[in-house]
Amino acid sequence: MGVVTKAEQEALVAAACAARAQAYAPYSQYAVGAALLAADGRIFTGVNVENASYGLTMCAERTAVFKMVSEGQQQILAVAICTDNGGSPCGACRQVLVEFAGDIPIFLCDSAGNVRQTSLHTLLPDHFGPEHLPGQ
Q: Report the catalytic residues.
A: 61
> By CB under 6 A, which span of 4-12, 59-67, 69-77, 103-111 interacts with ligand THU?
59-67
- Please tell me whether residue 109 adopts helix, strand or coil conformation: strand
CA 3, CA 1: separation in Å to the nearest integer? 7
Report which DSSP code applies to 54. G
Quick check: 61 binds ligand THU (CB under 6 A)? yes
Quick check: 128 binds ligand THU (CB under 6 A)? no
State which residue, 40 or 99, has the beta carbon closest to ligand THU: 99
Contact status, residue 3 vs residue 66, Cβ threshold 8 Å: no
**Residue selected from 9, 57, 95, 117 as contacting ligand THU according to rule CB under 6 A:** 57
- Those residues whose C-beta lies under 8 Å from the C-beta of residue 121, and which sit 6 or more positions away, are 102, 103, 127
Task: Give 7's strand partners.
Answer: none
> By CB under 6 A, which span of 22-30, 64-72, 95-103, 112-120 interacts with ligand THU?
22-30
State which residue, 52 or 133, has the beta carbon closest to ligand THU: 52
**Residue selected from 19, 60, 97, 101 as contacting ligand THU according to rule CB under 6 A:** 60
Q: Is 71 exposed, middle or buried (0-12, 13-18, 19+ CB in 10 A)?
A: exposed
**Which residue from 135, 91, 104 is spatially nearest to 8, judged by alpha carbons?**
104
The footprint of ligand THU (CB under 6 A) covers: 25, 28, 30, 32, 48, 50, 57, 59-61, 89-90, 93
